[in-house]
């Protein structure tokens, strides 16, 4: 797996291309501030767009989705990586 970053260039997302012999590539773009609603009040939150491309012949889509859910959980609270 490769990690590719467009953070310095900007943008809100892209489609990274899987190059053999890779099985997957994770694309990361620039962190941006978005508005999230906490009950009735808005609050600013930081969002990090992640884009995952993978070889469907090897990686099941459900497994890729579970990987992204786990990755987002770890990145949203890095203390989980110590457990």
Q: Cite the active site residues.
A: 56
DSSP string, 47-71: E--EEEEE-TTTS-HHHHHHHHHHH
Cα separation, 39 vs 47, in Å, equals 19
């Amino acid at each position: 797996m490769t990690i590719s970053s467009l953070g310095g260039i900007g943008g809100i997302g892209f489609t990274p291309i899987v190059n053999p012999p890779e099985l997957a590539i994770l694309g990361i773009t620039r962190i941006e501030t978005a508005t999230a609603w906490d009950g009735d009040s808005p609050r600013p939150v930081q969002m990090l767009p992640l884009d995952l491309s993978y070889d469907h012949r090897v990686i099941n889509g459900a497994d890729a989705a579970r990987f992204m859910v786990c990755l987002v959980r770890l990145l949203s609270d890095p203390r989980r990586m110590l457990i």
